[in-house]
């Protein structure tokens, strides 16, 4: 996979640049469909989907401007001052991930706090088949947002110590391996009244860091079956 990461498609596919991220994303979707929907995909179907997505991405970059940053829900009619006031009274969410290169397993973690709570609400999980630490950080935010929705939170400020991920979410940077995850984050975020994404230093993220590492250790003791 390391040798393959810079490989490109030969003509006449019309795809420019490496496609490994699209292959991984197609495999990830096929894996999720098998686990959660009991739908099986053949190798040919996965490969075809990867090529189609890569081609669509190339064509979109040539014809569309970069989307604006996702900081608050686009349909929120509140003024900027009102939105800032809402966010100052929001739930604070801090996420982190730990990644095991040898097993491609990640520990995902998050915690929620607000101005009135004495103790944070914590969450963590082990996630198999994770290809990189950057993807792990993205999946941690996805898991945190799903948890926030389940808990009924409507206004939330999300913090991560991964500046590359936050830049990709806001649209200031682009990473192909994050395209599907960013799409999931945007989709889930549309259900919140107000939401923001910010980078902060690692030393402010000790709780989620500890939870992520603990989840990864538990996965070593109890490896997934199959």
- Average pLDDT of the chain is 79
Q: Is position 130 within any domain?
A: yes
Say yes or no: 116 and 184 in one domain: yes
Say yes or no: 37 and 127 in one domain: no
Q: Is position 74 within any domain?
A: no
Say yes or no: 88 and 60 in one domain: no
Distance (Å, whole) CA 168 – CA 51: 22
The domain spanning residue 94 has which CATH number? 3.30.420.10
User: Is the confidence at residue 13, as pLDDT, over 80?
Assistant: no
Say yes or no: 55 and 107 in one domain: no
**Which pLDDT belongs to residue 66?**
36
Distance (Å, whole) CA 212 – CA 91: 20
Say yes or no: 105 and 181 in one domain: yes
Mean pLDDT of 9-35: 71
Label residue 4 by pLDDT band (50, 70, 90): low
Say yes or no: 165 and 204 in one domain: yes
Q: Is position 72 within any domain?
A: no
Q: Give 74-111 pLDDT, tens digit per residue.
A: 444 455 565 555 555 789 999 999 999 999 999 999 99
Residues, the chain: 226
Say yes or no: 153 and 54 in one domain: no
Distance (Å, whole) CA 78 – CA 114: 22
User: Is the confidence at residue 180, as pLDDT, over 50?
Assistant: yes
Q: Report whether the peptide linkage leading into residue 188 is cis, meaning its omega lies within 30 degrees of zero.
A: no
Q: Burial level of 64, CB count in 10 A (0-12/13-18/19+)? A: exposed
Domain span at residue 138 reads 80-221
Label residue 26 by pLDDT band (50, 70, 90): confident
What is the total count of domains within the chain?
Answer: 2
**Which pLDDT belongs to residue 117?**
67
Q: Is position 209 within any domain?
A: yes
User: Is the confidence at residue 204, as pLDDT, over 80?
Assistant: yes
Q: Is position 73 within any domain?
A: no
**Which pLDDT belongs to residue 29?**
82
Mean pLDDT of 112-121: 83
**Which pLDDT belongs to residue 222?**
61
DSSP alpha helices (H): ranges in the chain? 20-37, 43-63, 80-88, 133-150, 163-170, 179-189, 206-221
**Which pLDDT belongs to residue 112?**
95
Query: 133 or 83, which is more confident?
Result: 133
Give the angle 106-111-115 at the CA atoms, nearest 5°.
165
**Which pLDDT belongs to residue 93?**
95
Lookup: tokens for 95? 């996420």
Q: Is position 226 within any domain?
A: no
Q: Burial level of 67, CB count in 10 A (0-12/13-18/19+)? A: exposed
**Which pLDDT belongs to residue 75?**
40
Label residue 9 by pLDDT band (50, 70, 90): low
Query: 123 or 73, which is more confident?
Result: 123
Mean pLDDT of 162-190: 88
Say yes or no: 42 and 128 in one domain: no
Query: 111 or 223, which is more confident?
Result: 111
């Amino acid at each position: 996979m390391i040798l393959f990461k810079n490989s490109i498609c030969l003509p006449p596919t019309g795809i420019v640049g490496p496609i490994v991220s699209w292959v991984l994303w197609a495999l990830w979707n096929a894996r999720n469909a098998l686990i959660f929907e009991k739908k099986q995909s053949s190798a040919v179907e996965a490969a075809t989907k990867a090529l189609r997505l890569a081609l669509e991405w190339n064509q979109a970059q040539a014809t569309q401007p970069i989307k604006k940053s996702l900081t608050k829900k686009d349909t929120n009619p509140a003024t900027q001052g009102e939105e800032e006031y809402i966010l100052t009274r929001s739930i604070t969410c801090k996420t982190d991930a730990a990644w095991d290169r040898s097993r491609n397993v990640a520990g995902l973690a998050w915690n929620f706090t607000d101005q009135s709570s004495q103790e944070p609400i914590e969450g963590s999980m082990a996630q198999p088949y994770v290809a990189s630490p950057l993807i792990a950080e993205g999946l941690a935010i996805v898991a945190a947002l799903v948890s926030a929705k389940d808990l009924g939170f409507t206004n939330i400020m999300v913090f991560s110590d991964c500046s590359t991920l936050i830049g990709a979410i806001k649209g200031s940077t682009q990473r192909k391996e994050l395209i599907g995850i960013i799409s999931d984050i945007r989709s889930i975020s549309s259900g919140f009244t107000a939401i923001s994404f910010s980078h902060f230093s690692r030393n402010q993220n000790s709780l989620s860091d500890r939870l992520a590492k603990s989840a990864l250790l538990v996965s070593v003791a109890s490896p997934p079956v199959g």
